[in-house]
Amino acid sequence: MIRLLHIEFIKLWNNRASKALIIAYFILLTFISLVAAIKFDIGPIKFHLAELGIFDFPYIWHFNSFIAAFFKLFLAVVIVSMMANEYSNKTIKQNLIDGLSKWEFVYSKFLTVLALSAVSTIFLFVISFLLGLGYSSYDEISIIFSDLEFILGYFVKLVGFFSFCLFLGIFVKRSAFALGFLILWAIVEQLLFGLIGWKLTSWETAGTIRSFFPLQSMSNLIDEPFTRLSAVQNLGDQIGENFKFDYAVHWYEILIVLIWTALFIYGSYALLKKRDL
């Protein structure tokens, strides 16, 4: 396992584009901490974003995992390019000639997905923990380490999303087309949701069905955190709006994404097994 992972990281690090994207991704994650320095001073309007409570424990785990998930597209490009380069450079054929089985080839790619997801999650945890220590109004251990389910949700979300990208990279063979297909699939999911709700059943039932779609199921893992802020909650109470939603990461949401992940990895192997390289 370590040998396979070592081979994949050598390939990634020797590719300038992949190396630049990986570095840019982690730099952007670090930039989350710069939000703490943003202050608005417009006439009578003066406030410091950090003072709004976005870096309070345990809210910070929710907020940072939601924001960081937007940057996953950088690594998505790395994943699909990783597969495209295997075909264009014919290294996939050379690996198989050298004795690597098709399953070992897919397994090595999945190990890369797991490694990138794990490193990203640990990096996010460290940044969030340090920001929380610096800005949070709460320092009780029980509060600091509550709501860590969002960090788990972030990891599962990355694994599922990158596994989908891996499948598309093997299916399409070209990184630009694979990314285009990813965007197209996101649009198709919304169109299917609209069609089901409009023609086939109620919108509530359509929303339940949509939660089983691959990209939507990944999105459902971490709900938006903004209405959870106490300032927004207080505003909602004043205007008569109820902003008290269920923000938790549920076990069945994780299970749905894990099932899709397994299907994507198996689909990647099935495609490679049938394909004449």
Q: pLDDT (tens digit, 9 = 90+) per residue, 152-193?
A: 999 999 999 999 999 998 888 787 888 899 999 999 999 999
Q: Mean of the pLDDT values across residues 128-132?
A: 90
pLDDT at 124 > cutoff 90: yes
pLDDT of residue 238: 61
The residue ranking higher by pLDDT, 47 or 196, is: 196
Strand, coil or helix: 111: helix
Residue type, 121: T
* Residue-averaged pLDDT of the chain: 84
When pLDDT is cut at 50, 70 and 90, the band that residue 40 belongs to is low
Strands (E), the chain: 39-42, 45-48
Half-sphere exposure of 18 (CA within 13 A, CB side): 20
Question: Distance between CA 96 and CA 104 in Å, rounded?
Answer: 9
pLDDT at 89 > cutoff 80: no
Asked if 156 and 257 count as a contact pair (C-beta separation under 8 A), the reply is yes
Lowest mean pLDDT among 85-99, 135-149, 169-183, 254-268: 85-99
